[in-house]
Structure formats: structure tokens, C-alpha cells
A and B are shown apart, each in its own frame.
Chain A
Amino acid sequence: MSSASADTGQLAERGPAGDGQPLIEARHIVKRFGSNTANDDVSIAIMPGEIHALLGENGAGKSTLVKILYGSLQPNAGELIWKGQAVEIASPAEARELGIGMVFQHFSLFEALTVTENIALALPNCKATPELAATIARVSQNYGLPLDPAAHIVDLSVGERQRVEIVRCLLQNPSLIIMDEPTSVLTPQEADQLFVTLRRLASEGCAILYISHRLEEVRVLCHRATIMRRARVVAEADPTVETVGTLAQLMVGTEIEHVERKRGTRRGPEAILISNLSLESQEAFGISLKNINLSVRIGEIVAVAGVAGNGQKELFDALSGETLCPREDMLIFDGEAVGMLEINDRRLGGAAFVPEERLGHGAVPALKLSENVVLTRHGTGEGITRRGFTRFGLAGEVVEAVTTLFDVRKGVDDPEARSLSGGNLQKFVVGREVQRHPRILIVAQPTWGVDAGAAAVIRQSLINLARKGAAIIVISQDLDEIFEIADRIAVISRGQLSPAEDADTLTPEKIGLLMAGGAEKKGAAA
């Protein structure tokens, strides 16, 4: 087992060939939710010691399949075979008893507790004893996941938190580990580190079911791939021989539209100016913004890259006006100091905002789309409210316009926001603002958890909006997306922003270094 860089030597480390008895096999799984079929005759077999990729767009049925394997959902039909024996996995506890562990995309850790305490909570009848701490230290060291058992979660980076989750999983001696988009929160360097650990686990005979939409990663790491589309398994592939392009095509079914972009040649006047923005965090574990400077001109898209939890939320809130700046001139939109204006006054001045969280922030789940139009456009002077009365008819027309413009697919004319799929709701939430033709757009995670088709539509719309005369800030953790649309890139790390540099002069590696904290030194020097 070599612990060399992830980019090389992957072929030598490939796991066993597909002979012998599968560790777990799902046969002809069917799972329905109401009239929706989420899994339709899905079969998959995972060999011991294999890193098996599960690929598919959002809504393809990956999560449903995984939840069935982990016992949190019961299939309507089909059977599960564990080491040659038919089993029923009625709950996650039973899954863990069999030897199936899972590392979730969103961590479930208590920030105020220590590593040992958090792990103790997950183990049956286990107390946070010194022995447990020693075990944690030993296991984490063995697998190249160094952890201090006495550290409090709040002090750990996202990558370290993920290690806690993985170690927690490993202490149960699993023979299968399911990982749901594990690298979406990691810097490129942290991801490489994780791959080393995963290869080591696989070489010891532990199977890994690896869910990801980062195809490059899958090519480097995985032995086999099962590809799902529209609730069915459409292909099994060897990711080592496929290209990213062919894998993507299998996932989407057709050639993905490429985002058209001409580098912004004609730049207009400066529309957004953030100068010396410092903001003390009001929340217990929030990030304080320190001395942020950024200028965006009409016609360009500036991306703010960074690992989650480095002040993106705080920056978005300060730009939108959900948190007011301490001084008016810290934020200037179109020459006007807006730092102390509240969100609707900023909107009235031509700014628009799309937050990261679709449900619960950008839209109210139980309200209809037309009501969700009122949510952000009641104070924009378009006449959606008049003398305190709301004109839902007008809001309905906006829904229609956005629907046509962005190809939002919905069952009925005016459905509740929560009934839309993630991608369609995101298209709606972005479209609701873009359709207004704002001069300034601040958007966070525009294509988070959205399928490739919808992502292309959204990214294209942002580029078109900028070229038609808008200044756009995109706060994103997705480097592919950033390189696809951004003209300039800045990196946020622990509340500090590096100077924005031309996208053409930057590489993912350079950004990775900035993400991991390089921005602080650079920011201080600038």
C-alpha cells in the first residue's frame, strides 16, 4: 500500500477483480413514494475490498438505494443478500450490526462536545472513557486520520470533522462503508488525504460504496461504477477506462449542454465596492468577517471560493442586508453607500440576492410559488403590493415568466415550493431574481446539489445576465463551477478574503492552498 499522491499509481492499487461472492447484493429493488418510483428494478453487487462508485444526477435514486442498504428505508419489492444470505435490514441499527457503516454528507456532531464524547454517543452503551480515547487515537493514527480525542468539535476544520465521522464508523468494524459525497466539503489537498485512507481500507478488504458527482475523482479512486438514471440502473462501467465525458453522458443520457462563455471583454463601471468590511459574528460559533475588500464591475462575475464555514454565510448576510454593516460606507452599490440599509431598500436600488439554502431561506417550503415570488419582490416597486394589499395575480404572472424562461418543471400551475425537486426549485429561486434584470446579483451556491442539466441552465443565465449589464458575486464551494463562470476569483478563509485574481491565472491547486489558510497571509500583505 503506497501512500503516494492520489494522482499517480492508482492502477496498481486497484482492488480485486469481480470474481467470487459479493459482500452485499441488492436484487430487483423497487421503492415507490406515492406515485413516484424512486428505485425501479435496481440491482447492484459490491465485492469485498472494492471501491464502488454510485453515480447519477440528483433525483436519479442514489439516496433512496443507499437508504435501503442502510436500513432507513424499506423496499416495496426486491431482496438484499448479505454475504450470500437473504437479509432484511429493518433499521440503521441492524445495518450497523451486520457491518454496514455510513458517513453522511452533512455531519451529525455536537460542536460543544469533544471527539471522544461525540463518538461515545454513537456507540451502544458506551461512555467517554480513557480507553475509548486511546482506541480513537490508535485507530485514527492507523488509518492516516490523525485526531486529538480531547479536542472539541468546534475547534476542528471541516476535514477533521469528517475524520471524526469516519473514525466513528470504523470503530464499529464495518465491512462496508457508504460515503455520501465525502469530498464536497474538502479542499483538494484534504480530498487526496481521504483517498489514501480509503485505498488503505479497501486493501484490508473493506468495501466502500462511494457516492459522488465529481467524475474526475471517481476515475482516480474507484474500481467499478454503477450509474443510475431516472430510478434505474442504466450502466455498469469501469471508471478507469471511461473518460469524464463518457461517464457524464451515461449519467445524463444525452450530451450535456456546454456553458457558453466569452470572457467579459467589455467591463462597465464599478457597481459593487466592499471596503474594509469587518463584522463581529453575533452567533456562538459564527465567523467574524475581517477587513474584506472587493470591487466588482458591471459585466463581470467574481467568485468567492472557499471551504464551507469560513464566513460565506456571514458575508452573504452582510451583502444582502440581513445583517447590517457597522458603517454605511463599508458597502457601496452603484455609488450609493448601502451598508446600513435593510434588504428591501437594497433591492429597491437594483440589487438581488439568492441564498444558499433553497428551502427555509430562499423560499418558504409550504407556500406556493406565487407566494414565494411575493417573498422577495414585494418591496421592489413592481406593484406586487399596493397600499398594503398583495396582488397574487401579478405574482402568478412572474411565476409563469420564470417557469418559461428557466424551464421549471412543476406538476400543477402553482405548486408549493417543497413539492419541486431540488434542481427545479433552484432554477425558480435563481430565475425569480434574474427575471427582474437586477444590476447587482449576489448568489450563494447557485448549483448546490443540482443535476447537471439544471446547473448548466443556471450558470448560463448568470453569464448572460452579467454580459447584459450586471455585476455578480458568486459565493461557491464548487471549483468546477467557479472556473466555468468566473472572470475573477477570490478565496475566503476564516473570515478573510484574498485579493481577487484573474481566473485564467489561477489553478485549482493554487486555490486549494488559499482555501487552506493561505489567504490570511496574502490578505494581510495586500
Chain B
Amino acid sequence: MRIELVKRAEQSRVMSYLSPVIAVVLTVVFAGIVFSLQGHNPLSGIWYFFLEPVTSLWGIEQLATKATPLIIIALGLAVCYLSNNWNIGAEGQLTMGAICGSILPVMAPDFVNPIVLPLMLLMAMMGGALYALIPAKLKTTFGTNEILTSLMLVYCANLFLDWMVRGPWRSPQGFNFPITVDFHEWAVLNAVDIGGLYLNLSAPIALLLVVLLAVVMRKTLMGFEIKVLGQSPRAGSFAGFSSRKMTTFAFALSGALAGLAGMMVVMSEIQKLQPVISPGYGFTAIIVAFLGRLNPIGILIAGLVIASSYLGGEAIQTSLQMSSKVATVIQGVLLFFVLACDTLILYRVRFVSGSRESANA
């Protein structure tokens, strides 16, 4: 027996919705195998990893906290990837955004005013955007590969943050720890009680951005331009669109969103700067963007799925004493299955028995 992939004339609508679901199911099966190879009951592993984290209000708050930056960053990355600009450096743009936004509370701690909060968010977006424009400018001017430049700038940003919090911005009251001063009351995001659920401003902002981008992509010429230039630059220029402008726009947008996400993480969870402010949100958001099929609504769902795998990773550490690396493996396998299942959108699987003649019988 043979398995044949038969090309479809058109993309399958059904499969474009079904393929992520198939990928998730395959990942759960794979995770079960990993758990049993590690000597655990696969079912209890799956329970602790995938389901237990969302069985409590506290778990859902955690889920929202982790999913929000992933979703915001992934939205920007989706615009990049759809327009064929490969920004891999969201983690660095997140860091630079957070540094720029922190200028006010760190350098002017006496400027305590409600306007500080929106100003910080704005400055973070500008910082992230400007930092993302470096690989964009290199690409449009010299044809540099943006994958490499944007990735390498991540390390520059992280080392810059490290130096800042150990050097010029180190808090005099910090007992020599590499941290800045604590942010004042108007420079932090506090959780608000919504029917027993404590959430801060970042979750509604993420939702708003999801809706906004969904409308832009589906209804506007801008969204059309992003799609066309990504799929066929030559057709794009025939339509009067400019690939260079698009590169600049896509990088600036994704940098701004990464900066915004980084700032909100700092403002809500840490409330000061320290050497490490993100557990790799900028990289994980790449998985989120693709898992969500580069579609805003898909990214919302994917962000929640991936965030729960973070929580699941913690849960299996505490409940089953398994290594946190298992969670990383499962995330990687999830991306693998998502990309593999994408084949089903353009191809049909056909099982062909034995010889050719019988196939035609």
C-alpha cells in the first residue's frame, strides 16, 4: 500500500480550520508517549499538563497573564510574516521597548502623575519600533538578511539591559542587586477585580488589538496590501504597492507591539527592571503566530494554548517531578505538527493499494 499526496485545486476551507485541531490532538498523543517513556501514567501526565492549570480561577488569571504578551507580540509578527518579512527579533524589541518606557519612572521618579502610564506605553512602543527599524533599514538598503540581523539584535538588547541595571540604572537602595528602583504607583498596572477574576489592563488591550487587526486584515486595502506583497511581490508592485515601505511598516508595527507587550509585563509582574524580564515571550510568539495560522482570531486561541503549556510545564514539575525541558519538547512538537498538518490544506491524502491496476478498478 502506498500513501499519495494529491494536490488540491484550491485551499481546503475545512482543513484550514481542522488542521490545527489535528495538530493539537497529535501533540497530546505524543505528549502521552513522552510521559509514559518517563515512567508516568500518560493520562495523569496529560491531565496535569493540559487541563489541571485551567481548573482554578488562579490558573485562569495566570493563563491570561502569560497569554497576553504572547498574543500582542504574535499579532505584530503575523503582519511581518504575512508580508514576507522575517522578524525573529521580537524578544529584543520587547526588551528595548521596556527600557525606553522605563526611562520615566527610573530617571524621573519624582514625576508622579497619571499621565506617566500612557506616556510609558507610548515610549515603549516607539523604542520597540525604532529598534525593529534597524533590521528593516538594513534589509531595504543593503539587502541584508533580516532573519540574522533581527535575531542577533536580541542579544545586543539583552546585554544592554543587563548593563543598564548593573550600571547606570542600578538602584541605590537595592543592596547592590542588579535592579532599578521600584516603579511608583502611576507606573504600574494593577489587577482589577472582575467578578472574582483579577486581571490588569493588558488583557483587554490584547483583545482590542485582536479585533482591530482582524478588521484591518479582512476589510481594508492595507490588509490586502500586506497579503499581496507577502505572496507575490511582483504582483504587489503591479498593484502599485511598495515592498520597501511594507518592510518598514511591518517591522515598525511588530516592534511597537513587542515593546508594548514588554512594557506591560514589566509594569504588571515585576514593577522594576532586572537583568531578565521575559521568559522568551518574543520567541514563543513566533510559534503562537504560526499556530494561529497568522490569523488574529487564530492567534488569540494559539496564545491561550501555548500559555497553558507554560503552566502545564510548571504543573508537571511540581506534581510529577518531571523536567521543565519536557514542556519545551512538547511546544516544539506542537509547532512541528502544526506545520506538517498545513500540508493537508493544499493536499489530499489518498491511500493507494498495491498495484496501479487495482487502483483504477
Find out whether the CB atom of B240 lies under 8 angstroms from the CB atom of A343.
yes
With A75-B356, A77-B360, A415-B10 known to touch, is A360 a contact of B224 (CB < 8 Å)?
no
Majority-rule SS of B interface residues: helix
Find out whether the CB atom of B234 lies under 8 angstroms from the CB atom of A361.
yes
Among B38-46, B70-78, B85-93, B214-222, the one that faces the other chain is: B214-222
Find out whether the CB atom of A389 lies under 8 angstroms from the CB atom of B224.
no
A523 to B: closest C-beta gap in Å: 29
Find out whether the CB atom of B221 lies under 8 angstroms from the CB atom of A367.
no
With A34-B348, A366-B11 known to touch, is A389 a contact of B220 (CB < 8 Å)?
yes
Find out whether the CB atom of B232 lies under 8 angstroms from the CB atom of A419.
no
Could you jot down 7 A-B contacts, CB within 8 Å? A321-B240, A347-B240, A355-B238, A376-B238, A388-B221, A389-B219, A418-B10
Find out whether the CB atom of A378 lies under 8 angstroms from the CB atom of B221.
yes
B329 at interface (Cβ–Cβ under 8 A)? no
A312 at interface (Cβ–Cβ under 8 A)? no
A390 at interface (Cβ–Cβ under 8 A)? yes
The interface residues of chain B lying within 8 Å CB-to-CB of A418 are 9-10
A-B pairs with lowest CB-CB distance, top 4: A344-B240, A419-B9, A77-B360, A375-B239
A509 at interface (Cβ–Cβ under 8 A)? no
The interface residues of chain B lying within 8 Å CB-to-CB of A361 are 232, 234-235, 238
User: Out of A342, A365, A390, which one reaches B240, CB within 8 Å?
Assistant: A342
Q: How many A-B residue pairs have CB under 8 A?
A: 89
Find out whether the CB atom of A390 lies under 8 angstroms from the CB atom of B220.
yes
Find out whether the CB atom of B10 lies under 8 angstroms from the CB atom of A419.
yes
Interface residues of B (CB under 8 A from A): 6-11, 219-224, 227-228, 231-232, 234-235, 237-240, 348, 356-357, 359-360
Give chain A interface residues in 20-40, CB to chain B under 8 Å: 30, 33-34
The interface residues of chain A lying within 8 Å CB-to-CB of B234 are 357, 360-361
Find out whether the CB atom of A364 lies under 8 angstroms from the CB atom of B228.
yes
Docked complex Cα distance between A190 and B224 (Å): 45
A502 at interface (Cβ–Cβ under 8 A)? no
Find out whether the CB atom of A365 lies under 8 angstroms from the CB atom of B232.
yes
Find out whether the CB atom of B240 lies under 8 angstroms from the CB atom of A388.
no
The interface residues of chain A lying within 8 Å CB-to-CB of B228 are 364, 367, 375
Closest to A420 in B: B9
Give chain A interface residues in 349-401, CB to chain B under 8 Å: 353, 355, 357, 360-367, 371, 374-376, 378-379, 385, 388-390
The interface residues of chain B lying within 8 Å CB-to-CB of A415 are 9-10
Docked complex Cα distance between A34 and B227 (Å): 28
Give chain A interface residues in 39-94, CB to chain B under 8 Å: 74-77
Docked complex Cα distance between A416 and B232 (Å): 14
A383 to B: closest C-beta gap in Å: 12
Q: Which of A361, A365, A385 has the most CB of B within 10 A?
A: A361
Find out whether the CB atom of B235 lies under 8 angstroms from the CB atom of A322.
no
Find out whether the CB atom of B238 lies under 8 angstroms from the CB atom of A362.
yes
Find out whether the CB atom of A378 lies under 8 angstroms from the CB atom of B238.
no
The interface residues of chain B lying within 8 Å CB-to-CB of A365 are 231-232
B214 to A: closest C-beta gap in Å: 14
User: Out of A30, A74, A364, which one reaches B231, CB within 8 Å?
Assistant: A364
A447 at interface (Cβ–Cβ under 8 A)? no
Docked complex Cα distance between A250 and B235 (Å): 37
User: Out of A347, A355, A390, A419, which one reaches B224, CB within 8 Å?
Assistant: A390
Find out whether the CB atom of B222 lies under 8 angstroms from the CB atom of A364.
no
A320 at interface (Cβ–Cβ under 8 A)? yes
The interface residues of chain B lying within 8 Å CB-to-CB of A416 are 9-11
> Told that A353-B238, A361-B234, A419-B9 touch, could you supply 15 new A-B pairs with CB distance under 8 A?
A33-B6, A34-B8, A34-B9, A74-B356, A362-B238, A365-B231, A366-B11, A367-B231, A371-B224, A389-B219, A389-B220, A415-B9, A415-B10, A416-B10, A419-B10
The interface residues of chain A lying within 8 Å CB-to-CB of B227 are 364, 367
Q: Which of B11, B224, B360 has the most CB of A within 10 A?
A: B224
Find out whether the CB atom of A320 lies under 8 angstroms from the CB atom of B222.
no
B274 to A: closest C-beta gap in Å: 42
B201 to A: closest C-beta gap in Å: 28
Find out whether the CB atom of B231 lies under 8 angstroms from the CB atom of A343.
no
User: Out of B9, B240, B348, B359, which one reaches A379, CB within 8 Å?
Assistant: B240
B147 to A: closest C-beta gap in Å: 23
The interface residues of chain B lying within 8 Å CB-to-CB of A321 are 240
The interface residues of chain B lying within 8 Å CB-to-CB of A367 are 227-228, 231
Give chain A interface residues in 302-346, CB to chain B under 8 Å: 320-322, 342-344
Docked complex Cα distance between A419 and B346 (Å): 12
B29 to A: closest C-beta gap in Å: 30
Docked complex Cα distance between A134 and B231 (Å): 46
User: Out of A76, A360, A376, A411, which one reaches B232, CB within 8 Å?
Assistant: A360
The interface residues of chain A lying within 8 Å CB-to-CB of B223 are 390
The interface residues of chain A lying within 8 Å CB-to-CB of B222 are 388
Find out whether the CB atom of B238 lies under 8 angstroms from the CB atom of A322.
yes
Closest to A35 in B: B9
The interface residues of chain B lying within 8 Å CB-to-CB of A77 are 356-357, 359-360
The interface residues of chain B lying within 8 Å CB-to-CB of A34 are 6-9, 348
Find out whether the CB atom of B359 lies under 8 angstroms from the CB atom of A378.
no
Find out whether the CB atom of B8 lies under 8 angstroms from the CB atom of A390.
no
The interface residues of chain A lying within 8 Å CB-to-CB of B359 are 76-77
Give chain A interface residues in 418-455, CB to chain B under 8 Å: 418-419
Find out whether the CB atom of A378 lies under 8 angstroms from the CB atom of B224.
yes
Find out whether the CB atom of A364 lies under 8 angstroms from the CB atom of B235.
yes
Find out whether the CB atom of B221 lies under 8 angstroms from the CB atom of A389.
yes
The interface residues of chain A lying within 8 Å CB-to-CB of B356 are 74-77
Closest to A32 in B: B360
B150 to A: closest C-beta gap in Å: 26
The interface residues of chain B lying within 8 Å CB-to-CB of A75 are 356
Closest to B239 in A: A375
Docked complex Cα distance between A121 and B329 (Å): 41
Docked complex Cα distance between A254 and B232 (Å): 38
Give chain A interface residues in 147-176, CB to chain B under 8 Å: none
A315 to B: closest C-beta gap in Å: 15
The interface residues of chain A lying within 8 Å CB-to-CB of B224 are 371, 374, 378, 390
Docked complex Cα distance between A273 and B226 (Å): 35
A95 to B: closest C-beta gap in Å: 18
Find out whether the CB atom of B220 lies under 8 angstroms from the CB atom of A360.
no
Docked complex Cα distance between A419 and B9 (Å): 5
User: Out of B10, B221, B232, B237, which one reaches A385, CB within 8 Å?
Assistant: B221
Closest to B359 in A: A76
Find out whether the CB atom of B220 lies under 8 angstroms from the CB atom of A375.
no
